[in-house]
């Protein structure tokens, strides 16, 4: 390992991923399938490793973003269904067939070519037809659903494997009625778009983690948890009662680079946005925004040192930040610093970090995971 990056590591606890999958499994009825959502490099946890952990816990269906992620899963030896949540580019049709991927579909473009390529190889590509039930994102309008379903069921190389939608309001208190109406739109579509006799009916699915936790009536035939598998609840505190016992899998650890005493009245970091009110013992840490630790949390953030929370002082730099260790005389250069995760009795989670930054846990996991070297703690 060379360079400052080697001070820092994102640790991924594969056992936590497995435990979370099992917790989710216990929340849905045995006959209902689970699509482990591993898009965005498994929310920063590493696509192959995370999918492997979920597969080990029984997952046989995975949701990825792009074709490239789908191919990576196949090259890693993952079996089971791999769903391309962002659909497919007609120019990628040959790879979709070759790697046995199942695209989400929300337009007729490229379907004929995809069917021909599959049929030429004696295959059928499973596709998941997406309805926009009120998300205002990809998906077809309810009025177009039947037409597109008929196109799919009429093409010999395609199989209508699923009919799906997505909840925009599943984590919003008071929106349950709207969610129910949106689920009913999908159900109505499923009732109309029946495949020819002898062909299995498509799986209906709509539930992300929030709907999975709150709305058992929306589990359909398959649920699509993402954030919950990584150990975080999507629910605000008012709805926390619907939560599950989950274990955050990601931590961000580093080391103290230097410890020194500064006199009172000493400005710290760019802009001197913090000036020491009294003599201060300062720990310099090699973590900054280039390591995914957002500069926007300057003035609010804390870090764990010596098993305690201490404030980060002044502006967070590109590869460094400074913490106040005046209350911790034992801390010295080389000691572990935890920016995300547990140290002793203390814990800083992605939800807390997200609060400091005015965002959600998802964004910080993606960012911190992508910008650091990842180490995996093995399953046993």
Ligand X SMILES: *Cc1c(COP(=O)(O)O)cnc(C)c1O
The CB-based long-range contact list for 178-183 (8 Å cut-off, 24+ gap) reads: 178/134, 179/211, 179/215, 179/218, 180/215, 180/217, 180/218, 181/134, 182/133, 182/134, 182/206, 183/133, 183/215, 183/217, 183/218, 183/220
Q: How many residues does the chain have?
A: 380
The reply on whether position 162 binds ligand X by CB under 6 A is no
Residue (of 379, 334, 368) closest to 252 by Cα position: 368
Rounded Cα distance between 325 and 255, Å, is 14
Number of chain residues interacting with ligand X (CB under 6 A): 13
Residue among 10, 14, 36, 37 that touches ligand X (CB under 6 A): 37
The reply on whether position 165 binds ligand X by CB under 6 A is no
Tell whether residue 164 is among the known ligand binding residues: no
Report the residue number, 166 or 357, with the smaller CB distance to ligand X. Answer: 166
Q: Largest Cα–Cα distance of the chain, in whole Å?
A: 82
The reply on whether position 259 binds ligand X by CB under 6 A is no
Report the residue number, 55 or 227, with the smaller CB distance to ligand X. Answer: 227
Residue among 226, 248, 306, 349 that touches ligand X (CB under 6 A): 226
The reply on whether position 314 binds ligand X by CB under 6 A is no
Site string for ligand X, 134-153 (x = CB under 6 A): --------------------
Residue among 208, 233, 251, 343 that touches ligand X (CB under 6 A): 208
Catalytic residues: 39, 270
Contact predicate 198/7, CB 8 Å: no
The reply on whether position 214 binds ligand X by CB under 6 A is no
Burial tier of 66 (Cβ tally within 10 Å: 0-12, 13-18, 19+)? middle
The reply on whether position 337 binds ligand X by CB under 6 A is no
Q: What is the CA radius of gyration of the chain?
A: 24
Report the residue number, 61 or 118, with the smaller CB distance to ligand X. Answer: 61
- φ/ψ region of 119 (left if φ > 0, alpha if ψ in -120 to 50, else beta) reads alpha
Report the residue number, 129 or 331, with the smaller CB distance to ligand X. Answer: 129
The reply on whether position 85 binds ligand X by CB under 6 A is yes
The reply on whether position 166 binds ligand X by CB under 6 A is yes
Residue ranges in contact with ligand X by CB under 6 A: 37, 39, 85, 166, 208-210, 224-228, 234
């Amino acid at each position: 390992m060379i360079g400052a990056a080697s001070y820092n590591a994102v640790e991924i606890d594969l056992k936590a991923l497995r435990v979370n999958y099992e917790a989710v499994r216990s929340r849905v009825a045995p006959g209902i399938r689970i699509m482990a959502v591993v898009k965005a490099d498994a929310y920063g946890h590493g696509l192959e490793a995370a999918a492997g952990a979920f597969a080990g816990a029984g997952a046989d269906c995975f949701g990825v973003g792009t074709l490239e992620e789908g191919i990576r899963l196949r090259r890693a030896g993952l079996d089971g269904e791999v769903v391309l949540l962002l659909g497919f580019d007609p120019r990628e049709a040959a790879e979709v067939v070759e790697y046995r991927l199942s695209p989400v579909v929300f337009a007729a473009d490229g379907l004929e070519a995809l069917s021909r390529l599959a049929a030429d190889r004696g295959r059928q590509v499973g596709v998941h037809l997406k309805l926009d039930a009120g998300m205002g994102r990809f998906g077809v309008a309810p009025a177009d659903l039947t037409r597109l379903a008929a196109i799919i069921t009429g093409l010999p190389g395609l199989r209508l494997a699923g009919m799906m939608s997505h909840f925009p309001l599943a984590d919003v208190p008071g929106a349950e009625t709207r969610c129910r109406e949106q689920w009913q739109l999908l159900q109505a579509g499923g009732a109309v778009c029946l495949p020819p006799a002898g062909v299995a009916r498509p799986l209906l699915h709509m539930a992300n983690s929030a709907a999975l936790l709150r709305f058992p009536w929306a589990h359909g035939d398959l649920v699509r948890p993402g954030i919950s598998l990584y150990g975080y609840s999507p629910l605000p505190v008012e709805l926390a009662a619907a939560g599950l016992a989950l274990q955050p899998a990601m931590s961000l650890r580093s080391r103290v680079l230097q410890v020194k005493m500064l006199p009172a009245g000493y400005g710290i970091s760019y802009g001197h946005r913090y000036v020491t009110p009294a003599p201060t013992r300062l720990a310099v840490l090699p973590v900054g925004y280039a390591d995914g630790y957002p500069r926007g949390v300057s003035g609010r953030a804390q870090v764990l040192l010596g098993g305690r929370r201490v404030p980060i002082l002044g502006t967070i730099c590109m590869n460094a930040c400074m913490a106040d260790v005046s209350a911790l005389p034992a801390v010295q250069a080389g000691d572990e610093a935890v920016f995300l995760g547990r140290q002793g009795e203390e814990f800083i989670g992605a939800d807390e970090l997200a609060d400091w930054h005015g965002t959600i846990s998802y964004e910080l996991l993606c960012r911190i995971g992508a910008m650091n070297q990842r180490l995996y703690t093995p399953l046993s």
